[in-house]
A and B are shown apart, each in its own frame.
Chain A
Amino acid sequence: MTDQQQGAQDAHDAFLSDTTSIFGREITIQGGIYTVVFILLAVATVLEIIIGGLPEGVLLIPLLLAFAVIKATLVVMYYMHLKTDSRLFTWVLILPLLIALAAMLYLLAAPPTGYT
């Protein structure tokens, strides 16, 4: 078994275990890492709702977007298993994301009346 295969096997076993390590501490909870990720997602959502209710400031939108990106990354890495799956899948996701992001930035930069 190569190191990469061993790593995939370890990750697979970790997903099946109820014991997981978070911030250096071992936690045993039904569902293991999946439940820990769900709790993190729920806490982040509560924080988002609280922050969303604050008066608008310069940092509000970047902060909310950062929360959304962190939550999405957690789902993609742990629930969709990109953390352990083939890197090819990561690129298949990243390339269209970059295209969509470029299109979005272009549209946002364009004046509302269009270029004349």
Chain B
Amino acid sequence: MSEATLEHGPAAPSAETIDNYKLGMWLYLASEVVIFGTLIAVYAVYRLNNAESVQHVQEELGLTLVSINTFLLLASSWAMVLGLREAQKDNPQGIVRWIGLTALLGTIFVVLQGVEYTELGHAGIHLGNEYGMRFYAPTAFHGAHVIIGVLWALYVMKQARKGVYNAKNYLGIEIFGLYWHFVDVVWIFLFTLIYLI
């Protein structure tokens, strides 16, 4: 289905109107909540029963790289909503600028995660370790979501350049935004549970 058919109707969506596309995305995110919830639960159980070894690994991990990544992802969410705002203001150039920034920040996040994984590999934390598999499963699954999000952002930029989005048709950006912010929310919990606690 083309983006043009995702006509949003009035510029200000009514709270009484339930958009099927948005409901579909929320239902998809609901399934993601259960998947990430399970991965986090598996990590939390290991953390509870192996506090000392996890603490040792956390000292190995450090907080510098992951803190930078956290700020990058928060900033990308901010850029994302400002991109949506530009669509609502009928400014296609603004959409490209802010969604482009979202894609850039997401790309840097993935690159830094790659750097972190390399360092962890040198420190002996592999998928085969008891800790490694519980660490990599949620964080790499999340990283895969960021990569998909970056590709999606590039597609949104392409559509914006074509002039698909305007003050009356921005649902495509809004749905992408729901996905991207969800990825941000998951990282908020992963950062706290894996790196801080």
Contacts and interface: CB of A to CB of B under 8 A. Distances in A.
B95 to A, nearest CB: 14
B17 A86 contact: yes
A16 interface: yes
B45 A13 contact: no
Contact of B14 (A5, A42, A52): A5
Interface of A: 2, 4-5, 7-9, 12-13, 15-16, 31, 34-35, 37-38, 41-42, 45, 48-49, 51-53, 60-61, 64-65, 67-68, 71-72, 75-76, 78-81, 84-86, 88-89, 92-93, 95-97, 99-101, 103-104, 107-108, 110, 112
Interface stretch (B63-71, B132-140, B147-155): B63-71
Interface of B: 11-18, 22-23, 26-27, 29-31, 33-34, 36-38, 40-42, 44-45, 48-49, 63, 67, 70-71, 74-75, 77-78, 80-82, 85, 88-89, 174, 177-178, 181-182, 184-185, 188-189, 191-193, 195-197
Contacts of A16: 85, 88-89
21 contacts: A2-B16, A5-B15, A12-B12, A34-B85, A38-B75, A65-B197, A68-B193, A75-B181, A79-B77, A79-B80, A86-B15, A89-B23, A96-B34, A96-B37, A97-B37, A99-B34, A103-B38, A104-B37, A104-B41, A107-B41, A108-B48
Nearest to A2: B16
Nearest to B12: A12
Contact of B33 (A53, A61, A93): A93
Nearest to A110: B45
A103 B22 CA distance: 27
A42 B74 contact: yes
Nearest to A37: B78
B78 A68 contact: no
Nearest to B55: A56
B189 A72 contact: yes
Contacts of A88: 18, 23
Given A75-B184, A112-B49, A49 B196 contact: yes
B29 A93 contact: yes
A12 B15 CA distance: 10
Residue picked from B177, B188, B195, most chain A C-beta under 10 Å: B188
B33 A96 contact: yes
A52 B44 CA distance: 17
